[in-house]
Structure 1
């Protein structure tokens, strides 16, 4: 039976609850927001409709109302309100931004029942979409493209050893996420993961930050300090942008890689540290070696196992999935009603080159969620709209993009079942496999 939560703030809910009960709804009533807390403890169905009944404008309860909506984010909300509510700006904003629909008193029972049915259908569609969307796997990576599938294979292989790893890739492509994944599936997963941005360390404090110091070793050293490498004992130290380390620190790091010992600044004794080194750089370290900016022997010590994170433009089919994932992240702490992306926004994202990679995508989605006044995020909200005169897209490119998107969405809807997707798309299984290979769409 379809479930409906009826929350009455200042009105007797009995007549409306009776209307809905006769129409086949399983109605659970709360006569106040505090009573609604009890409803939160009940098992919730996949699709839920919430009805908010308020004759007057409860401005003092606005924060509590929004908290209720945040708790039942999967629900579709309908309001029944007095005419005076419409004259209050904060309540008007609530109705426009967060609700599926609203009714004014007195209620037309038939109209309300129809609205509730439409809202339930909408909630069911949202639940099915969420069920069919692959968010991430045990590695914490979102995507089903061939490029990300190959990266998962490489990560699992290098995670099985304790040798140093050098991660390459463009800025913003997710090198730290790859390092975290290596740590997460390795035997060191129970130990610490310490991330260090080598480019952000002050040169004067770099030795102390990485290797620690003893009391009195320099002005201001009022006590001994454990360095970041020592803090990673039993786990993994991730050295991001390692090409920015000065040559003196490169020498000390090379000694640690060779001997597994460090010396704090101001100390003559060596400390044994068991930490795996995973390093990353967006610059070509071989070129840095040739230019004398990076030690050749350190490069070969680090480059035992190499992993390359693909840029977003090479991850066909992952862009919309990542955008939806970031959308859910950015809307998780707000009750504001946002339904996702418009088709024009999706097309603009697919056509964009993403020079800033995954970081750029996240930033654009986050900004759009905050700034948009629409229910569906548009290309202009993402900063990806172009003047019509400048849009030059070949017909074959448009057809390729549409074909890729249709296959991707169909596989999502049917839970990655190729046979079902082939029937839905009207092609044979072999044809679908061929098209998936053409567009770089993988099942795992």
Structure 2
């Protein structure tokens, strides 16, 4: 039995592109725990970039260099840049100083020569991701463009959420049973409302009347008679909810909480009612909402696999806010502007400390929790700068923030120490190896207490 996509999707942030697979370096061991997707060959990479929005590309030009390559590193770099304008590309491979300078002139974020500089790859990737993050910081033009309303009620810049929104748009008007899985506050109900429509909304318009269709919150005490009552109520509704020719929709919220007995009875109802709408015994179309625990419940036998197969003709896993790249910071800025207007406070801004706290908090309550935290900060902040304490986040988040800072400093110290050791303390050569300027390296040494 194949693996099922029960876990919420994680944004793909890095792609390793092997220019010539037969000569590829094999960069996995050098990534130091960084998750990355792989593309074997330039064409595969271009295809991947059509359907994803990574932040960093690592271009593996191979263990050998020379004119015998079918595609030159420069040509490959240009094609990748054209496919993903503005993306940061770290180049790794064999090459002389001329190739290094050529790639840097083309706009490569960094060039690490093989094999001497391979151990600095993880650090180079993190610097590239950090640069992308800083470019998207609230207040920059890129940051303001990044957060968009992909469907009514869902603001995001995250590639995974954008792909899910596009899939939902294509599903509108189709008689398909959809399962929406994710944590509370990830947008499941908003997407369910969108999917329940019988037609696509006009450009920029709202969908239907914006109301949720009949919804049944499920729990362990929910009986099949409760579900039957909901189905019957929709069947006999006037005016008919299915006037478009499609079966009307009901939402079963928290379906993975149903008892085994109710699951079995619901499965029988679905099997018996699989006829065209308006015919005898036909059932409304179901949109099911499940928690993030659905996968483990199926694996442990607490939720029926055959019922899953019936309710999940399309299965969409919504990522938690903490996994949506930098949406948390972008949304915090959006909520800040909103609450300044509604609460009559102006010229407030998020301090760097608050931004770090927002980025490092787990957000178990997702967008609703973030909204409440920013609203509280707007009300209680004593000055124009909102600090981490104004957000009212739990103490464990503060402890995690401190530990992350320490971990970052330790990682930076380790990389700098190894670079200096390899070049016998030569600052100029060390800065070249690390891909930073000498003044930046001096600042880093001061920050780390290494001078």
| Rg larger in structure | 1
User: TM (normalized to structure 2)?
Assistant: 0.46
TM-score under structure 1 length normalisation = 0.46
